[in-house]
């Protein structure tokens, strides 16, 4: 049983879940301060419906994959890796964008949530729906990213889903530590560490996506002679098992296989592959240089005022713990 498949989704769900937990905690603290605790039920409803909606999106993706695969059973070996590759590309785009966007917006999170809640409370009849919408969108946004990642790895069975559940439970526990029991945690450091791990996981997803496309095209070339030209590299270098990925960079399957410990951990968290090809290696490095560079520059945007931001973070945490 490959429990390592649960590690990436655990990290992703933990990070995204803590972001949602911060929003929930801040909202509950603000409602308590405004003596509007009667609206807490709308907060919990938003969390529940957001999680349920994320699960439904996951089921929808699974249904789409099965429906497409059943159109022509002969081409199922082509459709499955192709769909994995497509979902991988979508997940890469979404996770990368959210990583950078949330890093840039983190310093304004508390102010934005306060403004939204204050505006909702001014609407006597629609205050509950305003709070519900804020929480629902926050939870659904984070859940959608996890669902995309799971969909991109659907052949790994239920283990990615187990990792997502573990990450969700851990995120809820951290939320209680922060806002219920007043435990001080360096949120900035937590998100920086999780951000780097997420960056490496998504870089590994780039390698996997290319492998899925290579498998799909190679299988199609075998099934349909008219598609043989798509597998251009294999036709020129028949000794190399790559179809579109170029020459092999290394094959360390006998030294450090990626299906056994510790290679399986390196594969899950850092994108290691025991059989790597040139296009994969270039794409991996290019992703880290471009997206990683943007991410680390985003971290540097708040370096000039670390004390004030740290004080704001601790103030929101302490206010949440005292008022609850």
Of the ranges 31-45, 155-169, 292-306, the best mean pLDDT one = 31-45
Which residues neighbour 300 within 8 Å (Cβ) at sequence distance 6 or greater?
Answer: none
pLDDT score at 122: 80
Q: If residue 249 lies in a helix (H) or strand (E), which one and from where to where?
A: strand 248-251
The whole-angstrom separation of Cα 109 and Cα 66 is: 39
| Res. 316: pLDDT tops 70 | no
How far is CA 66 from its chain centroid? 23
Mean pLDDT of the chain: 79
pLDDT score at 124: 67
Over residues 141-166, mean pLDDT: 76
Residue 226 — pLDDT band, cuts 50, 70, 90? low
Nearest to 18 by CA among 124, 183, 138: 138
Structural domain count of the chain? 1
What pTM value is reported for the model? 0.76
Q: How many CB atoms lie within 10 A of CB 32?
A: 16
DSSP-derived secondary structure letter, 123: -
Helix, strand or coil for residue 108? Answer: helix
Over residues 109-132, mean pLDDT: 80
Nearest to 216 by CA among 77, 21, 44: 77
| Res. 159: pLDDT tops 50 | yes
Domain, as residue range, for 247: 3-323
The whole-angstrom separation of Cα 62 and Cα 80 is: 11
The whole-angstrom separation of Cα 22 and Cα 27 is: 8
Place of tokens 């780039």: 206
Residue 275 φ then ψ, to 5°: -130, 100
pLDDT score at 113: 79
Over residues 234-259, mean pLDDT: 76
- Residue 277 token pair: 């090809």
Q: If residue 177 lies in a helix (H) or strand (E), which one and from where to where?
A: helix 159-179
322 pairs with which residues across the strands? none
Residue 248 — pLDDT band, cuts 50, 70, 90? confident
Rounded to the nearest 5 percent, the helix, strand and coil shares of the chain are 80, 0, 20
The whole-angstrom separation of Cα 80 and Cα 77 is: 6
Least-confidence region, from 18-22, 51-55, 234-238, 247-251: 234-238
């Amino acid at each position: 049983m490959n429990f390592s498949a649960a590690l990436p989704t655990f990290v992703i769900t933990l990070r995204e879940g803590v972001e949602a937990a911060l929003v929930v905690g801040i909202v509950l603290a603000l409602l308590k301060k405004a003596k509007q605790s009667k609206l807490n039920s709308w907060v919990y409803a938003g969390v529940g419906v957001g999680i349920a909606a994320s699960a439904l999106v996951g089921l929808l993706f699974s249904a789409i994959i099965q429906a497409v695969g059943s159109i022509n059973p002969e081409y199922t070996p082509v459709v499955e890796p192709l769909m994995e590759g497509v979902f991988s590309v979508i997940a890469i785009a979404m996770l990368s964008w959210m990583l950078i966007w949330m890093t840039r917006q983190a310093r304004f999170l508390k102010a934005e949530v306060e403004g939204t809640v204050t505006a909702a409370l001014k609407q006597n009849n629609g205050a509950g729906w305003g709070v519900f919408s804020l929480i629902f969108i926050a939870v659904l946004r984070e859940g959608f990213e996890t669902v995309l990642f799971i969909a991109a790895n659907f052949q790994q069975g239920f283990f990615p889903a187990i990792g997502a559940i573990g990450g969700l439970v851990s995120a809820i526990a951290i939320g209680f530590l922060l806002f219920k029991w007043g435990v001080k945690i360096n949120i900035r450091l937590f998100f920086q560490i999780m951000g780097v791990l997420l960056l490496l996981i998504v870089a590994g997803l780039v390698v996997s996506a290319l492998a899925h496309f290579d498998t799909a095209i190679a299988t199609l070339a075998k099934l349909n002679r008219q598609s043989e030209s798509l597998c251009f590299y294999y036709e020129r270098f028949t000794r190399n098992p790559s179809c579109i990925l170029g020459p092999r960079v290394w094959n360390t399957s006998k030294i450090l296989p990626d299906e056994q410990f510790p290679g399986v951990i390196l594969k899950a968290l850092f994108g290691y592959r025991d059989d790597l090809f040139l296009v994969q290696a270039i794409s991996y490095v290019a992703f880290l240089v471009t997206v990683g560079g943007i991410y680390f520059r985003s971290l540097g945007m708040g370096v000039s005022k670390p004390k004030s931001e740290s004080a704001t973070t601790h103030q929101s945490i302490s206010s949440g713990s005292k008022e609850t």
